[in-house]
Structure 1
């Protein structure tokens, strides 16, 4: 802040008036830590730190998780967390496999093209569901980096698909059940395909008895 004297002449009473002017120049004594940073929400990450981690070839989702787990303190802290976690997983021999399964409602008698489209809807919907939780996003990353296994199975009817979804949900497995708009082949609201994602053995507890399409 600086004070600038202004002299007003020609008035009944001559006087000097001071006005306050705010300096926009950054103080020479301000420490770098005093610079205001971006306001981050509970699920936001510092973009500068994220870029630094990506330059270390750390996958983006894993880098985000590392930053969130270390409170967005620094890229160094997040990198240490990531590599320590990676080392610990290797030591315990983490060989878990993940897969997506898609159960088709065979009662509807859909054509090949219709089934393909509905499985596509289920895959997109299920992947969007995986973004709702940190643990599911991490699972999706592991699935994507271990072959992205996908299996299409036969379901009996809509009631069967709903039973499977309830069982999967009871095991905390993410699911997505497609309800068709009814433009072609099936009635509006028809439950066509159920998508389930999770660790392979867990998913097998739900769909292991079903036949391949």
Structure 2
């Protein structure tokens, strides 16, 4: 009996060590990719994590698998922010999720090029966008957002913020907030009439397909 207890205890310790090593690798990858981009080799990630390269490959058989898991974690964070915003009163959830998502993007700069073209996280991305568009409808119902704002405008906002986050890397972590504030101000009721037509759903779908093909 004591032998069985020791075995079970050893197994739990091994599982705990494996989980801790996995998270160290993910944290190191997020840091290294954010600072130096996705071209950094996995040997550098293992070094920063303080584990051997063999440990890295046991947790993530390929570099692509490691990046995909980072993207999945980002979308998990997106969905947490979006679901919390659903409980915001008076249509305030849209602004809450816009700023929350921007902050997550700014903290995960290394994953930006994969956010819209990772096959493993398509369902998470679709669910996030569904909630986002529901929040837009609520914001319009409460008069917080202009009536002619459409779903595709939110896609444009995030693509634009993504560009600002990528461009300001290494200089400032908050430049994106100014861009977001300006865009939200433009979505307010009473702003000047827009003299440009919105993108169609077909345009958005084609752009996402193009991103997936890169």
Q: Give the TM-score range, shorter chain.
A: under 0.3
Q: TM-score, normalised by structure 2?
A: 0.25
Higher percent of residues as helix: 2
Larger Rg: 1
Structure with bigger strand share is 1
